[in-house]
Structure 1
Amino acid sequence: MKTAIRYFSKTGHMKKMAEVVSEVTGVKAETTNIPVTEEVDILFLGSAIYVAGIDDKVKEFIATLDNKKVKNVVCFSSAAILPSSYSQVKQLLEKRNIHVDEREFHCRGQLTVMHKGRPNKEDLNNLRKFVAGIIS
């Protein structure tokens, strides 16, 4: 099974989470600045909510995806207030006829003093289990 990992991170939280996905899959995590040029069975896509929405760079990345190359997207995210970025990402991917896995991983993210230290060790361990379940 061919896997790719892409993420966008303003604060370092998504990078930390993408590194966990990389650790479990054995695939290098790349930022959304790097296009997906090869065919992949699973694209793990990390995004976060910033002021109630996903960043424009994530939207721009999704616009570059080819539905003939990306078979399935698995979302992972963090946000301080909203439940996850899943619905926003899913809507954009479905417009491109790209399948979005119904399984997603989300944890709280730190915003100033709110949810301080998140994602924490427990969040990252839960992410490890989630990814292992996806690729098994």
Structure 2
Amino acid sequence: MKVAIRYYTKTGNTKKLAEAIGSAINIEAKTVDEPLTEDVDILFLGSAIYGAGIDKKIKDFIANINVNVGEVVNFSSAALIESTYGQVKKQVEAKGIKMSENEFHCRGAFKFVHRGRPNEKDLKDAQEFAKRIIN
């Protein structure tokens, strides 16, 4: 099974999740600045909410996928909303790619809100999530 991890972060929260997922399944987490260059069965895609929406870099990454992707698995962090799933799903399905029903989301620190998140438990939970998806 071919797996890739891509993410976008401004604060570092989603990067922490991406690296935790990568360490659990022995895949290097890369930013969305690095396009997919080969077909993948599973794409773990990490994002966060900035000003009530996913960043343009996530939208551009999805729009520019030019390889076969079996399915996208969303992971995210956010200080205020519950998940980026709906916004990412809209972009992924518009591209004709299957969106997994499985996702991982945790709180992310922003200014004075949710300090210390994602924490060690969040990172461990992200690792366990990734292992379940792969197995």
Code of the residue aligned with 1:107 in structure 2: it is: C
Distance in 1 separating the partners of 2:45 and 2:65: 12
Aligned to 2:50: 50
Code of the residue aligned with 1:41 in structure 2: it is: D
SS for the counterpart of 2:75 is strand
Code of the residue aligned with 1:78 in structure 2: it is: S
CA RMSD of the aligned region, Å? Answer: 0.8
Distance in 2 separating the partners of 1:49 and 1:92: 14
Aligned to 1:80: 79
Q: What is the CA distance between 1:60 and its match in structure 2?
A: 0.6
Instruction: Note the residue ranges of structure 1 that are not aligned, 5 or more in a row.
Output: none
Distance in 2 separating the partners of 1:13 and 1:89: 18
Q: What is the CA distance between 1:91 and its match in structure 2?
A: 0.3
Q: With structure 2 as the length reference, what TM-score do the two structures score? A: 0.97
User: Residue 37 of structure 1 contacts residue 69 of structure 1 at CA under 8 Å; is this kept in 2?
Assistant: no
Greater share of residues in strand: 2
Instruction: Note the residue ranges of structure 2 that are not aligned, 5 or more in a row.
Output: none
SS for the counterpart of 1:4 is strand
Q: What is the CA distance between 1:69 and its match in structure 2?
A: 1.2
Aligned to 1:38: 38
Q: Deviations over 1:53-108 (max 9, x none)?
A: 00111111011113x51111001000011111110000000001100100000000
Q: Deviations over 1:22-72 (max 9, x none)?
A: 101111111000001101000000000111100111111011113x51111
Number of matched pairs: 135
Distance in 1 separating the partners of 2:108 and 2:20: 16
Structure 1 segments of 4+ aligned residues over 6 angstroms from their partners: none
User: Residue 48 of structure 1 contacts residue 85 of structure 1 at CA under 8 Å; is this kept in 2?
Assistant: yes
Write out aligned runs for 1:3-82 (5 A): 3-66=3-66, 69-82=68-81
SS for the counterpart of 2:6 is strand
Q: With structure 1 as the length reference, what TM-score do the two structures score? A: 0.97
Write out aligned runs for 1:117-128 (5 A): 117-128=116-127
Q: What is the CA distance between 1:115 and its match in structure 2?
A: 0.5
